[in-house]
Structure formats: C-alpha cells, structure tokens
C-alpha cells in the first residue's frame, strides 16, 4: 500500500467530454488506477447491470456516485421529483458498490430571496432520504461547494454547515461529509472544521484553484497548477483517521476536457504522486 497510485481515485468527470463510462473504466485501469467515481448520466447510458459487472471485473473501487441532492425547490411537485430521483440514485450507488452518494444542497430558485429558507428545506429533505439510504446501506456524503456557486448549485457552502447538518441529522454512519479541496481551501475555519469532522469524512476530492480562473465551476486546476496547499489539507483530513482514496475531480472546459484522455490520466497519476 506504499505506492501512491493505490490511494488515487479519478472522478470520471475529469474525462467527461472524452470518455463514456466503459471507456473510462478501461482507460483508468490501463494506467494502473484502481478506483474511480461515477456520474449518473454516464451510468444510465451504459446500464446499471453492465456497469456494475464491468467495474467489478476491472477491480475498480467506486469512491463516489454523483451527484445527488439538489433539494431546495419551493414547488412541492419539483421537490417530490428530486426526492424520488435521489432514492433512485441511492439504489444505483448501492448496485455499483459505491462508498457513498455525493449530496449537494441545490441552488436558489430564480425568484427566491430566502436563503435560510432554502437551506432549511434542503436539510429537511436530506433527513427524508436517510431511511432509504440506511436500508440500502448507502452513506450520503454531504459536500459543501464553494460559496461562489451558492445561487447556482449548493446552499450548503461550508464545512461548518456540513458538520452542523450531521449533528442535526444524527444519522450515524448513514450521513458523512465529502471534503473537496477546490470548495473549502479558502475557509479560515478549515483546520478546525476538518478536525470536527473526524469519523465523518467519507470522501476526499482534490482539485486546485487557478488564480486566473475563468469559470467558477468548469475551470478547475490539476493539483499543482494553482494556489491550494493540497498536501496540507490531505494531512488534516488523514489526521482525523481518514484512510480512503484521494479522488482527483477536474471540471475543465477550457483545458483538460479538450486533451487526449490518456494524457489526462497520466498527468493525474503524476500530480497525485507529487502534489497530493
């Protein structure tokens, strides 16, 4: 277990525009990568049964299934649809043996000005998902996103808030936290809130923040290309007892999604060994 690649997972969004799920499984395996995270649209394109078999045959550990949550809608019908969709995703995550279902908060409806209200709805609906997740043996990984995407993607924005939600839900191992360096690196409370999350961290996502970023979601940097001390954050996370994978997760419309995917995977392996 001393070879760094054994701790590396690649989130398949890193090769989103180049590879289908089957191509990603085979492509990562070709480079010696033994863990990955899977997205719902790609899984459904392939079919859950076929994907589960292929992942198993390739010896892939599935470190996460993306992306559940999005639970802030005010409209009751829309809210019900999202809860049903999340239940389906819990079942799919279980079918592929994922370690967790990643859960983001959801943004604000276009005419919604009540941020505390949206946060309260999201928390209530995570609570509604807990029994189904528990029955499926699936962990819901609350992932705070960077506050710059609060309106668009997630009213869950800080690790303090994720810890508070875990306290409020009191759901034991059914609810945990995903720490993503891209989303939390700026937080003055980072060290304290990671320490507080001891025993709750179920996923560790790594990406860098480019100082000249040109898109808040789709311009993530490869570890080593930006301003985040990823190794320092990894040490904080591992000091809590986390022994899981380091999942490289790069949304990159202007750069990595345009490159030869084999080159992308090669760079992931190198940078993980050097900068994570």
Nearer to Zn ion, 70 or 249 (CB): 249
- Residue 143 beta carbon to Zn ion: minimum distance, rounded to whole angstroms: 5
Closer to Zn ion at the Cβ: 79 or 158?
158
Of residues 79 and 225, the one with the C-beta less far from Zn ion: 225
| Candidate segments 35-43, 79-87, 213-221, 244-252, binder of Zn ion by CB under 5 A | 244-252
Q: How far apart (Å, rounded) are the C-alpha atoms in residues 61 and 35?
A: 4
Among residue numbers 20 through 79, which ones bind Zn ion (CB under 5 A)? none
**Rounded to an integer, what is the distance from CA 100 to the centroid of its chain?**
9
Residues 129-148 contacting Zn ion, CB under 5 A: none
CB of 249 to Zn ion, least distance (A): 5
Q: Is the peptide bond before 198 cis (omega within 30 degrees of 0)?
A: no
Is the Cβ of residue 92 or residue 249 nearer to Zn ion in the bound state? 249
Nearer to Zn ion, 219 or 249 (CB): 249
- Interaction with Zn ion in 150-179: which residues (CB under 5 A)? none
Helix (H) or strand (E) holding 231: helix 230-239
- Give the helix/strand (H/E) hosting 212: none
- The stretch near Zn ion (CB under 5 A) out of 122-130, 168-176, 193-201, 246-254 is 246-254
Q: Both tokens of residue 17?
A: 């525009």
Nearest approach, Cβ of residue 181 and Zn ion (Å): 9
Q: H-type helices in 137-206, by residue range?
A: 159-169, 181-184, 190-196
Say if CB 204 and CB 244 are below 8 A apart: yes
Let me know: does 166 contact 156? Beta carbons within 8 Å: no
Tell me if 205 contacts Zn ion by CB under 5 A: yes
Q: Does 208 bind Zn ion (CB under 5 A)?
A: no
Work out whether 246 is an interface residue with Zn ion (CB under 5 A).
no
From candidates 70, 92, 180, 187, binder to Zn ion by CB under 5 A:
180
CA distance 262 to 38: 18
Least separation, in Å, of the C-beta of 50 and Zn ion?
A: 26
In this structure, the strands spanning 8-11 and 175-180 are: unpaired
Which residue stretch of 46-54, 124-132, 203-211, 252-260 sits at the interface with Zn ion (rule: CB under 5 A)?
A: 203-211
Integer Cα distance of 114 and 110 in angstroms = 11
- Bridge pairing between strands 140-142 and 175-180: parallel
- Interacting residues toward Zn ion by CB under 5 A: 180, 205, 249
């Amino acid at each position: 277990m001393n070879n760094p690649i054994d701790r590396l997972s690649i989130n398949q969004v890193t090769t989103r525009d180049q590879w289908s799920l089957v191509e990603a499984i085979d492509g990562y395996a070709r480079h010696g990568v033994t863990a990955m995270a899977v997205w719902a649209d790609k899984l459904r394109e392939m079919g859950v049964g076929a994907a589960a078999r292929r992942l198993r045959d390739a010896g892939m550990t599935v470190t996460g299934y993306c992306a559940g949550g999005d639970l802030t809608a005010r409209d009751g019908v829309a809210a019900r649809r999202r809860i049903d969709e999340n239940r389906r995703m819990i079942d799919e995550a279980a079918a592929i043996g994922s370690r967790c279902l990643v859960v983001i908060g959801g943004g604000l409806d276009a005419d919604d000005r009540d941020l505390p209200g949206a946060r309260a709805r999201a928390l209530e609906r995570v609570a509604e998902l807990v029994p189904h997740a528990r029955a499926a043996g699936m962990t819901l990984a609350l992932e705070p996103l960077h506050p710059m995407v609060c309106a668009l993607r997630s009213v869950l924005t800080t690790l303090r808030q994720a810890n508070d939600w875990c306290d409020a839900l009191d759901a034991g191992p059914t609810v945990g936290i995903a720490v993503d360096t891209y989303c939390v690196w700026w937080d003055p409370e980072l060290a304290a809130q990671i320490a507080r999350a001891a025993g709750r961290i179920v996923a560790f996502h790594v990406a860098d923040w480019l100082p000249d970023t040109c898109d808040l979601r789709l311009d993530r940097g490869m570890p080593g290309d930006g301003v985040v001390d990823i190794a320092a954050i990894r040490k904080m996370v591992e000091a809590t007892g986390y022994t899981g994978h380091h999942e490289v997760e790069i949304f990159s419309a202007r750069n990595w999604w345009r490159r030869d995917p084999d080159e992308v995977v090669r760079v992931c392996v190198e940078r993980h060994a050097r900068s994570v």
